[in-house]
Structure 1
Amino acid sequence: MKAVVTAKEMKMIDTFTIQNLGIPSLVLMERAALSMADHMTACLPPQTRILCICGAGNNGGDGVALARIMYCRGYDSAIFMAGDPEKWTEETKKQIQIARNTGVPEYNRLDMDAFDVLVDGIFGIGLTSRVRPPFDEWIEKMNAWRSGKKNRQIWAVDIASGLSSDTGQVLGCAVKADVTVTFGYKKRGMILYPGRDYSGRCYVEDIGFPQKALDMNPTEGFTYDVQNFEQLPERKNDSNKGSYGKILVIAGSRNMSGAAYFSAYAAYASGAGLVKILTCEANRIILQSQLPQAMLSVWEDITEDGYKELTEWADAVVIGPGIGTDPDMAKRIEAILPIIKCPLILDADGLNLLSSHKEWYKKLPESVIITPHMGEMSRLTGIPIDVLKADRAQKAKDFACEHNLICVLKDSSTVVSDGKKVYFNQTGNHGMATGGSGDVLTGIIAAIASVGKDTFHAACAGVFLHGMGGDWAAGAQSSRGMTCVDIIHGICQVMKKMEN
């Protein structure tokens, strides 16, 4: 688990490190520049010509220090100071003095054609307003320069200038970086789209913020790393099929058997011991042929008295994939919700029904995970999709807090919140924009939640594993041609790799 920070959180960690722990700001700045110089030295041949475009703040000071270090390593490195000299911070003034003493060339005019690499050190993580002239013109020139000839690169210091470090939104215009070297912790805006596209390849460098600084200034956001992912439940040799969760999947309707199949199949692939599908009679033969290991019940054979027996059997319940929204289904779901005592994963048509039956919020069980995509979230909240996308983490957190549930807000950059913490997912790819992918996710989450895993971390782990399965499928099948079944196969491969 790794921290993901907002600009405010990063500033608090930075200030605590300097003021309370006594590590000088110039030391952190020098370490930041050294870490970035090491990456550049490893990637760029000695004849590379580098221009560091530096603003007045400490981000610019990092850029000046980088220019000097690369110059001292034999690179043709130079500086262009952007902005008002009267606004230079004390640290930036000091770095400029050192660079001038060292003999680093300094340009008074932004002439980029003579260079192979530009370093963006204009704005840091504190930018919150729209980029103003002349900075917007310089940023547009940098992007045009980058696309004008092959092999040109832009490296961003800490964050690409023009991005909101909290939301990933472009504040008027933003530098399109090929590489970003960020310091201390990853910023939210580098994970969320469109910021992820503008950040290029990202490196997170430890420049000396002690663990105590993070402990004293904890962050709301976190992410998982492939190398240290240990969220899947343990399995023991002395066990049986009842040891690994019993899942009730309420899914499917006439001509919609696939949703039930994908969700139930994914649950098995994610480690569930037993799965029972509750669906309509029309799906009986189809599902028993496709997934014979799953038990099956049909609405036509069950009275309301039988609902309690089904829900008491389950360790986790999925409601929604492909069930439809007709009045009869609404009555069935309304009758089932109050008697569920285990974790509930509410998805798809379950969410569509919830959006038109607001009184159901009071009937939901104690542990609820909802998995809306942006359209479903818009129906639940009444907030337009573009507004949701502009600050998805905060919107998910607010909704989870308001309704005391866990919100998995699905999109190109999925976030999960319990109303207090926010998980930022970094796995997955555009090939997962395919029918049935969401149904697969519900099955994965249910499998993890059914074995006693904390529901919030079960949701986070499920999203992570879902994306990992998608990444495997993209590699095996291509992102254009993959299907949700390929994602399920990918999940099995990923878990095999984790076990090994």
Structure 2
Amino acid sequence: MRYVASREEMQQIDAYSINTMGIPGIVLMEKAALALEEVFLERVPIKSSVLIVTEKGNNGGDGLALGRLLLEDGYNVDFYEIGAIPHDSDSHQIQKKVLEQMEAQFLMEFPEEEYDVIVDAVFGVGLKREVAGQHRQVIERMNQKKALKVAVDVPSGVDASTGQILGIAFCADLTVTFGLLKAGLLLYPGADISGEVIVKEIGFPNKAVEKIAPKMISFVKEDLSLLPERKAWTNKGNYGKVLLIAGAKNMAGAAVLSGTAAYKSGSGLVRVFSCEENRVILQEKLPEAILTTYDSEEKAEEILPEAISWASVIGIGPGIGQSIFARRLLKQVLALGKVPLVIDADGLNNLAVLLKNDREIKQLFYEYKSGIILTPHLKEMSRLLEEEIAEIQSNLPKAAMKMADQNHIIVLKDARTIVSDGNAPSYINMSGNNGMATGGSGDVLTGIICGFLAGGLSLLTAARLGVYCHGLAGDAAAKEKGYYSVLAGDLPNYLEKVLK
């Protein structure tokens, strides 16, 4: 697990390190410069021309300190200070005085000529107002240059907490950020213009980080240790019974995908509840599954209670369609279910209608004792919250927390999926890729989460780990097949490699 910091949290960590733990700010600045220098020495040939654009704050001081080191290394470095902020920070003043003693080249105007590298050391992590005036003009001109563009800590103009663009932002090819990842470098659109992100340690003490305890985390490969334990002296009954209510007529694929994923994520037994028209396909594509099929709506409602009582985990939604019948099935599950429940896809769309129009379903939903995981994409979340997609997209963690609590886990699916139980920390997912933007990918995620729940994981851990492993499977598939050619049906097969 690793922390992901907001603007305020990073500022608090910085302040605690300096004011409480006694680390001089200039020391942190020097270590930031050394970290930047290391990246330059690895990637940029000596004698390259470098333009460092600064302001008078500490981000500008980082840029000045970097420039001093690069001059000593033999790079050709020019400095342009915008100077639209009235007062220098103390550390910035120190760095500038050293450069003046070195007779470094400070330009009076933004240069017309091209450079090999442009370094953005204007605002960094602290910006929370829209970029305007001279700052906007300079950033526009920086973006027009053909050079390799490097941002110090956070590209100027990106909100470090939300990833939103504050009017205009520096379009970086590479961002070197310090201490912790910033949420704004991961959330879109900020992630789109941050380029490759490198995290460098500069000496923030662990005590400072733990004291502030950022309210967002992400997983790394070591977190696969959270997978459900499988012991030698066990049988299929020890690994749970997943009931998947999936696949209306002509939608058998959704049931196949979610059922396959549930088995490949460790479920002992998977039972698919679907319409009779899907029987042959399901028997051919997923012979391991137990099938319960119905040939009429009345029959479905008659036999569903027994299937519900059989299960230790229930998933509902993939391919069931939006209809009065589907809503009746969902209502039965909420009324009779006594085990963890995952609601996805059409299950969510039907739920949105019921929550809006049916008081009884609202009570059943909020009083469901065994816990519910909801896995909406942005449009489904828009229906559930009755908010515009743009509003949800502007702050995904905030949107996820609106509907979440310890008994209702929200998996808000986007390029950076957020998982929340309404409390800190939220989880932001860093695995996965755009090759997974294909029909059926969400059905696979439902199956994975159900499988992890069947293995005994808690709601929150199953949701987080399910999202992470789903993304890792997508990454493995894209590495072998390319982003254009990944199919949802590939994901369960590559999940094998992730869980191996």
Please list every run of 5 or more consecutive structure 1 residues that lacks an aligned counterpart in the other structure.
147-151
Alignment-derived partner of residue 107 in structure 2: 107
Counterpart pick for 2:326 among 326, 329, 345? 329
Matched residue of 1:177: which SS? coil
Matched residue of 1:480: which SS? helix
Alignment-derived partner of residue 149 in structure 1: none
Alignment-derived partner of residue 219 in structure 1: 214
Counterpart pick for 1:386 among 361, 368, 390? 390
Residue 411 of structure 1: how far off its partner (Å)? 1.2
2:342, 2:446 within 8 Å by CA — same for their partners in 1?
Answer: yes
1:17-416 equivalences under 5 Å are 17-84=17-84, 86-111=86-111, 113-146=113-146, 152-226=147-221, 229-300=224-295, 306-358=303-355, 359=359, 360-364=361-365, 365-366=368-369, 367-401=371-405, 404-416=407-419
Residue 138 of structure 1: how far off its partner (Å)? 1.1
* Counterparts of 1:253 and 1:380, CA distance in 2: 22
Distance 1:112 1:60, change over 3 A: farther
Distance 1:381 1:289, change over 3 A: same
Cα deviations by residue, 1:432-481 (Å, 9 ceiling, x for unpaired): 11110110010011111222212112111111111111111112222112
- Normalised by the size of structure 1, how large is the TM-score? 0.95
Q: Does 1:478 align with 2:482?
A: yes
1:437, 1:484 within 8 Å by CA — same for their partners in 2?
Answer: yes
After the TM superposition, which of the residue ranges 222-231 and 210-219 deviates more from structure 2? 222-231
Residue 315 of structure 1: how far off its partner (Å)? 2.1
* Counterparts of 1:85 and 1:386, CA distance in 2: 33
Cα deviations by residue, 1:76-132 (Å, 9 ceiling, x for unpaired): 122211223632111111111122223332211111524210110011212112110
The residue type paired with residue 162 of structure 1 is: G
Counterpart pick for 1:493 among 486, 492, 497? 497
2:352, 2:384 within 8 Å by CA — same for their partners in 1?
Answer: yes
1:420-431 equivalences under 5 Å are 420=423, 421-431=425-435
Matched residue of 1:363: which SS? helix
1:248, 1:278 within 8 Å by CA — same for their partners in 2?
Answer: yes
1:247, 1:274 within 8 Å by CA — same for their partners in 2?
Answer: yes
2:114, 2:145 within 8 Å by CA — same for their partners in 1?
Answer: no
Matched residue of 1:357: which SS? helix
2:55, 2:85 within 8 Å by CA — same for their partners in 1?
Answer: no
* Counterparts of 1:57 and 1:206, CA distance in 2: 20
Q: CA RMSD in A?
A: 1.6
1:80, 1:110 within 8 Å by CA — same for their partners in 2?
Answer: yes
Matched residue of 1:51: which SS? strand
After the TM superposition, which of the residue ranges 385-394 and 231-240 deviates more from structure 2? 231-240
Distance 1:392 1:243, change over 3 A: same
Residue 237 of structure 1: how far off its partner (Å)? 2.2
2:84, 2:135 within 8 Å by CA — same for their partners in 1?
Answer: no
1:57, 1:124 within 8 Å by CA — same for their partners in 2?
Answer: no
Distance 1:485 1:399, change over 3 A: same
Count residues with an aligned counterpart. Answer: 490
The residue type paired with residue 463 of structure 1 is: V
The residue type paired with residue 342 of structure 1 is: V
* Counterparts of 2:94 and 2:400, CA distance in 1: 43
The residue type paired with residue 222 of structure 1 is: I
Cα deviations by residue, 1:201-254 (Å, 9 ceiling, x for unpaired): 111111111111122111110001235543322222222222222111011111
* Counterparts of 2:66 and 2:193, CA distance in 1: 21
The residue type paired with residue 233 of structure 1 is: P
* Counterparts of 2:210 and 2:470, CA distance in 1: 30
* Counterparts of 1:176 and 1:84, CA distance in 2: 21
* Counterparts of 1:287 and 1:140, CA distance in 2: 56
Counterpart pick for 1:466 among 462, 466, 470? 470
- Normalised by the size of structure 2, how large is the TM-score? 0.95
Distance 1:89 1:328, change over 3 A: same
Counterpart pick for 2:446 among 437, 442, 456? 442
Cα deviations by residue, 1:353-404 (Å, 9 ceiling, x for unpaired): 1111113242132311100011111111111111111111111112214x95
The residue type paired with residue 364 of structure 2 is: K
* Identity value in percent: 40
Matched residue of 1:428: which SS? coil
After the TM superposition, which of the residue ranges 77-86 and 44-53 deviates more from structure 2? 77-86
1:112, 1:145 within 8 Å by CA — same for their partners in 2?
Answer: no
Residue 261 of structure 1: how far off its partner (Å)? 0.7
1:249, 1:319 within 8 Å by CA — same for their partners in 2?
Answer: yes
Matched residue of 2:444: which SS? helix
* Counterparts of 2:439 and 2:236, CA distance in 1: 30
The residue type paired with residue 162 of structure 2 is: T
* Counterparts of 1:480 and 1:202, CA distance in 2: 24
The residue type paired with residue 118 of structure 2 is: L
* Counterparts of 2:404 and 2:337, CA distance in 1: 19
Cα deviations by residue, 1:123-157 (Å, 9 ceiling, x for unpaired): 121211211011111111111113xxxxx201100
1:51, 1:112 within 8 Å by CA — same for their partners in 2?
Answer: no
